[in-house]
Amino acid sequence: MNWTLTGIKVNPQAKKLAYAWLLFAVSTLIFAGIFAFLVAMARTPVIQDFLPKQKDYFYIALVGHVDLAVVIWFLAFMGVLWTLSMAGFSGVRTDFKTAWAGFVLSAVGTLLITITALFGLGSAIIANYIPIISHPLFYAGIIMFAAGLLITVADAVITVIYVVKNKVFPEYLPVVSFGMFISAVTVIAAMICFSLAFYFLKIPSLHGAFFERLFWGGGHILQFVNTIGMVLVWLLLTNICLKTMPLTERFAKLLLLYYLVFVIPSPLLFFMYNVHSQAYKDAFTKLMQFGLGPSTIIFAFFILKTMWCKHKTNEIDWKDPGISSLAMSVVMFAMGGVISLFIHGINVKIPSHYHGVIGGVTLAFMGLAYHMLSLFDRDITFKKLAKIQPYLYGIGQILFVVGLFLAGAHGVQRKTFGVEQNLDSIMKMLGMSIMGIGGLVAILGGGAFVINMLVSMVKKPSESGRKNSLNV
């Protein structure tokens, strides 16, 4: 079977592994949604008064939600793309044992993380990028997931190096394989940053400041991974749904290389700045600000230009979840970027910014997931639901982001719950109420996606699925 997303042949072994990664990725969203519901309700006026007063659990729920929805869901979905984008090179390998080992380690590690959060074991440490639950089970889970991820990306990098060195591929790397190679290198750079931070911090500690410094540098680099994955999915969805590429492969590769220019030197910052200093934190912040913006803006411009041209000639189907997810993704990511320009102080404008950005990544991945079903000979079970789901999730996230921004503009502090939010003005109440409504709508949209995907994936392969998962 030739997969239109890469134009290369996908053998049965690669399909099985990609299927496993996709099922794993979608499954993480079940508990991410449960934790999101608890967190959103704990911050919603009136409703918060009816929830248990054990506020510590809501911090644990926040950790569970962030780690599953922002870290593991993204990287697990990238596991699908790493597998499929390298599938054309599968002739150079005799088996997939190494790749399967990476998957199993990541899946088991995620299970341990979920169990820790679900049962409220240990105490929450709210660090940026990768918050922690102080419990041996959680530590074991995060280490196993990281080890599995490292095996997966190392396998991808080694495969590409072998292919290029031995000229196995007849012409040149397809843009998807090229981009996923860059994202794999970026993951390795992030792992090096985590390791260097641990080394320079010298004495491990269970205090929040330790984990904040530990994950700060590598956490910023992981945002490059997410963004690279998102723009590649934008290209894939444009190609699949609109039957065109918004820009040439050479130009796309140059834009992808721009990300790498900022990623490769990132470990050197640990030798230039003290990890305990503000200069260290500022350096990685600036690295992300200058490294992520230009290429992403150019990709977004060409995507929107292509969509507008197709819309004018009535060649675009807004009921296609791939199209709606693509459009909402670009809008959400742009909102997150614009909001970042207005952040001052420690308030909920900060989560408003990153929920816009991560909402954009999630929507893109959702849209591609629907189109992946046909690769696995599956059909979308609830087609009408698939048509409205991206709008439901996207509108919910927009309300969530706008509500947080409004509340933050009037002083609601970040990482507070219940009475600690000090909602003593109408605008604060309004902002957090909009946030609560948006959160509920987004959770419904996310739930609709998870149910539709899981039901579709566990069903037996069908002939209709082999033809096109979106035929009505």
With DSSP H G I counted as helix, E B as strand and the rest as coil, what are the percentages for the chain, rounded to 5? 75, 5, 20
144 CB contacts (<8 Å, ≥6 apart)? Answer: 105, 106, 108, 109, 112
Share of the chain above pLDDT 90, in %: 60
Is 1-171 assigned to CATH 1.10.3470? no
Following DSSP, what letter does each residue of 63-117 receive, concatenated?
HHHHIIIIIIHHHHHHHHHHHHHTGGGGGG-S--HHHHHHHHHHHHHHHHHHHHH
309-355 pLDDT tens trace? 998 888 888 999 999 999 999 999 999 988 888 887 788 888 888 89
d(CA 220, CA 290): 12
121-170 pLDDT tens trace? 888 998 989 999 999 999 999 999 999 999 999 988 888 888 777 766 65
84-120 pLDDT tens trace? 887 766 566 656 888 999 999 999 999 999 999 988 8
Two structure tokens written together for 283 = 């350096």
Nearest to 32 by CA among 12, 11, 62, 9: 62
* Mean pLDDT within 381-406: 94
User: Residue 470 — pLDDT band, cuts 50, 70, 90?
Assistant: very low
Domain boundaries defined on the chain: 1-171, 180-314, 317-472
8 Å CB contact between 146 and 174: no
Terminal Cα distance for the chain, rounded = 22
352-368 pLDDT tens trace? 888 999 999 999 999 99
Nearest to 240 by CA among 90, 370, 143: 370
Bridge partners of 215? Answer: none
Choice between 120 and 369, residue whose per-residue pLDDT is larger: 369
